[in-house]
């Protein structure tokens, strides 16, 4: 009896952990983790910017390759980078919300505070780039009933949650071989690829990723097209 109880508790805890920490669990927030298509197309996404010069470097490589991408931005990093964001939007890059502070406490805040944070970040992006962001990336890929409620509180301006198919873990290991290995493993039509241009040397693996995608016949499209 006790053993059965322990097993049930362990399974329940395991379920709750998975539901919150797997961005693709779909338990609390419907999150797009891959675009349904048979076409050889991928969606590059960069989190945690704007990162000044690093963002500039990534963007110039993307442009050389004719690749589109989305940048999920931290609101507190936006002041001082408004001109950069305006240019990105004009050049056809997608700007999305990645909360104001990206604090580890974020997922534990009240829904009202979370909603206020999402709105503040969205307002800053809109003021800089001229249009309201349509997409949101949950920090750490964590979703919860509180985050679901916060999104509902935003009503019609609620952004669509975007997860990923390929997590490169480039913040842990920002080296070309590692990032490429992760990409090879997860590459498929419609894949959403997560990277961070803020990492020193990211221009090296961004370049290699783009070249690899080209050799495989993939096009880097914009999330705005979905
Ligand atoms: Zn992040």
The span from the CA of 29 to the CA of 151, in Å, is 9
Q: How distant, in Å, are the alpha carbons of 158, 193, 218 from that of 155?
A: 6, 28, 36
What spacing in Å lies between the alpha carbon of 47 and ligand 1's midpoint? 5
| pLDDT over 90 (residue 107) | no
What spacing in Å lies between the alpha carbon of 37 and ligand 1's midpoint? 26
Going by CATH, does the domain composed of 23-225 fall within 3.20.20.370? yes
The span from the CA of 16 to the CA of 43, in Å, is 29
Residues 116-151: pLDDT tens digits? 999 999 999 999 999 999 999 999 999 999 999 999
What spacing in Å lies between the alpha carbon of 171 and ligand 1's midpoint? 10
Kindly report the number of other CB atoms within 10 A of residue 165's CB atom. 20
What spacing in Å lies between the alpha carbon of 71 and ligand 1's midpoint? 11
Output the pTM of the full model: 0.94
Q: How many residues in total does the chain contain?
A: 226
Q: How distant, in Å, are the alpha carbons of 91, 118, 161, 163, 187 from that of 130?
A: 13, 17, 21, 25, 33
| End-to-end CA gap in the chain | 51
Residue 106: pLDDT band by 50, 70, 90 thresholds?
confident
- Residue ranges per domain, the chain? 23-225
What spacing in Å lies between the alpha carbon of 131 and ligand 1's midpoint? 22
What spacing in Å lies between the alpha carbon of 138 and ligand 1's midpoint? 8
Q: What's the token pair of residue 74?
A: 């931290």
Cis ω before 50 (30° cut-off from 0): yes
What spacing in Å lies between the alpha carbon of 5 and ligand 1's midpoint? 37
What spacing in Å lies between the alpha carbon of 22 and ligand 1's midpoint? 14
What spacing in Å lies between the alpha carbon of 1 and ligand 1's midpoint? 43
H-only helix segments in 76-144: 82-90, 111-129
Residues 47-101: pLDDT tens digits? 999 999 999 999 999 999 999 999 999 999 999 999 999 999 999 999 999 999 9
Burial of 41 (0-12, 13-18, 19+ CB in 10 A): middle
What spacing in Å lies between the alpha carbon of 46 and ligand 1's midpoint? 9
């Amino acid at each position: 009896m006790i053993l059965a109880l322990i097993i049930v508790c362990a399974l329940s805890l395991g379920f709750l952990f998975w539901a919150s920490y797997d961005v693709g669990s779909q338990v609390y927030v419907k999150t797009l983790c891959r675009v349904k298509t048979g076409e050889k197309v991928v969606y590059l996404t960069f989190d945690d910017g704007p990162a000044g010069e690093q963002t500039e470097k990534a963007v110039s490589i993307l442009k050389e390759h004719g690749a589109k991408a989305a940048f999920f931005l931290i609101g507190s990093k936006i002041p001082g980078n408004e001109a950069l964001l305006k240019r990105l939007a004009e050049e056809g890059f997608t700007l999305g919300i990645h909360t104001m502070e990206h604090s580890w406490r974020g997922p534990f805040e009240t829904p009202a505070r979370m909603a206020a944070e999402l709105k503040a970040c969205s307002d800053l992006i809109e003021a800089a780039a001229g249009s309201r962001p349509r997409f949101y990336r949950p920090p750490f890929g964590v979703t919860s009933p509180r985050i679901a409620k916060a999104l509902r509180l935003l009503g019609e301006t609620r952004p669509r949650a975007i997860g990923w198919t390929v997590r490169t873990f480039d913040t842990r290991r920002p080296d070309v071989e590692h990032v490429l290995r992760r990409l090879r493993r997860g590459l498929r039509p419609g894949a959403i690829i997560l990277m961070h241009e803020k990492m020193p040397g990211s221009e090296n693996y961004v370049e290699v990723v783009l070249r690899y995608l080209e050799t495989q016949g993939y096009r880097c499209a914009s999330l705005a097209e979905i």
